[in-house]
Structure 1
């Protein structure tokens, strides 16, 4: 779902798109490694690997595994808190994940909810990405019973096989630079031809409502997306979300983002050179020179309500419960602690609460310090 950069030839653009999609493969391999070692409970993530990747799993160094755990813990916590806070007041909510790639958070959190005997409070979980990415994911989801069974009922293949929809989950191809088209695909009924499949039913499938409702509280999730997007496009996207769900009669919601920042130092220069060797650029990096610039971007876009950001190092050292920190630190020995801290200080989890009415409070999320007994 990461956009094409304007002003380039079709060949250059296609190569750039492929390079950006390759970053999702990197993230998937990292999640699978972290899950296999016990950092994460994400048993279905391996279903999105290619057969060759499953036969020859890659091992990530402890530095990567610890970072994957901390960012995932923080993001999961915010998503769970968002859904739970609305459940407490009897309202269902929605999640919109842009640039989702092979992310398996929907299935991971559904599994956790079932194991804890809690009701799933997400009326619809919607993911958007490049057509090439959504087509591949749609095929995998439709072909794996473990994934299909979590979707809440029959599924429909849509957008010529580049997407699918079900009562609880939808997957759509899209480009965040084309906000009119994106908005229409998310908020209007689908008019594309579709076919249906189900692991448990062959009965006629009723027409589904639009993927999202502007009247339900909605969480916008952006994980390492905006750094690949020109700042003007990022600002337009965030303003669209704030306008759509922050209107007086809208449902409100929240934004959760994971981004690198402060890349104008030596660490950032090395990082950008390494990415350039893979055909990747970071057009969004200049817009986030500091930790404070991350929540400030949300405020400029019209997000009314508490905002904040914490580095992933801060998440590890202050937000993880003591038992969880001790558990993950015991999985592998890490010698390069200074390098770990340097990397984690350049990434942050940001959140913002969107209030549809001035002065409205309640159902607000944010990362807080863990309470350690005896500390």
Structure 2
């Protein structure tokens, strides 16, 4: 059951999916699967399209480095996955993993499962929907589970049904998820991972630098849409983003604002390509947006595998 205020947060899934569809339609990156889940969208501003390109390219750079390090002998848990098509894109790029698990609120996973059943290209013949749980779906190496990560015990039970192996390298991904949780709830979730998994890496994409004027405006705009940023205190700076993991028992953490990722860390050839797609007369708004989002990473290394290569 969704709690009060969840509906507005759930709606951000549709917003993100539509923004990604806008950028894909214009050629910022290739995603032949997204159109099966998101049929129609309006064209977004060039700043939004470029921002989403940086988001997707930055996150996938780190994901592929993780998978390559372990030659696919690892797991991936996508928290708040929404209508993401990452599983199929990784399959087609040759970055398969032992087990891929998507977690989101049951309202979202039920919609996604319903859509998947109608799309032959995305539907596994071995998909099983257990009992009356229309919010869960299982295949050999791919699982969708409807669960609220504020209820860690429920998440653990559903993860067990996915045959998750807490002894092998596991990658967690969250895009604009933790910021909607209270600090107490996000800390409890991160502590659960730290105490349960022997070898884990976390990629977190969300807001940062929310204490300045532009950041305060972002908070107000989301509040007006019914989205209270309950975890905003962890998004005031890159240091705050890293601190949340270190305080939750993780071994180390690092982070970059998206302006740094876009301007300095993504391949220049790709940046030159995407900047030719749409004309942008003034870059001030783009820079403002990029400096108020970040990618932070954290790691647990009880197996001494050394995660230092998983950087930009």
| Same-fold status (TM-score > 0.5) | yes
User: In 2, distance between residues paired with 1:211 and 1:274?
Assistant: 40
The residue aligned with 1:155 is 127
CA offsets, 1:53-107, max 9 Å, x none?
Answer: 53xx3100110000000011110111111111001xxx61001111111111111
Q: What does 1:89-104 correspond to in 2, within 5 Å? A: 92-104=73-85
Q: What does 1:311-330 correspond to in 2, within 5 Å? A: 311-330=257-276
Partner residue of 1:339 out of 275, 282, 285: 285
| Length-normalised TM-score, structure 2 | 0.95
> 3-state DSSP class of the match of 2:149?
coil
Equivalent residues of 1:170, 1:211 under 8 A apart: no
CA offsets, 1:247-283, max 9 Å, x none?
Answer: xxxxx02000001012122112211222222111101
The residue aligned with 1:367 is 311
The residue aligned with 1:371 is none
User: Shift in Å at residue 26 of structure 1?
Assistant: 0.6
1:348 pairs with 2:300: no
Computed over aligned residues only, the root mean square deviation of the Cα atoms, in angstroms, reads: 1.7
1:74 pairs with 2:58: yes
User: In 1, distance between residues paired with 2:307 and 2:290?
Assistant: 29
* 1:266/1:217 CA distance change after superposition, 3 Å: same
**Total equivalences in the alignment:** 311
CA offsets, 1:117-163, max 9 Å, x none?
Answer: xxx44111101111110001011112211112xx5x51101352111
Q: What does 1:122-201 correspond to in 2, within 5 Å? A: 122-148=97-123, 151=124, 154-158=126-130, 160-187=133-160, 189=161
Unaligned runs of 5+ in 1: 5-12, 114-119, 190-209, 247-251, 369-375
1:41 pairs with 2:30: yes
Equivalent residues of 2:99, 2:141 under 8 A apart: yes
Q: Which has the larger radius of gyration?
A: 1
CA offsets, 1:192-214, max 9 Å, x none?
Answer: xxxxxxxxxxxxxxxxxx33111
1:22 pairs with 2:8: no
User: Shift in Å at residue 363 of structure 1?
Assistant: 4.6
Equivalent residues of 2:90, 2:96 under 8 A apart: no
The residue aligned with 1:116 is none
Partner residue of 1:296 out of 243, 257, 277: 243
Equivalent residues of 2:75, 2:170 under 8 A apart: yes
Moved more, 343-352 or 260-269: 260-269
User: Shift in Å at residue 340 of structure 1?
Assistant: 0.7
1:239 pairs with 2:191: yes
| Length-normalised TM-score, structure 1 | 0.79
CA offsets, 1:18-66, max 9 Å, x none?
Answer: 11111110100011111111101112112112xxx53xx3100110000
User: Shift in Å at residue 172 of structure 1?
Assistant: 0.4
User: In 1, distance between residues paired with 2:310 and 2:74?
Assistant: 17
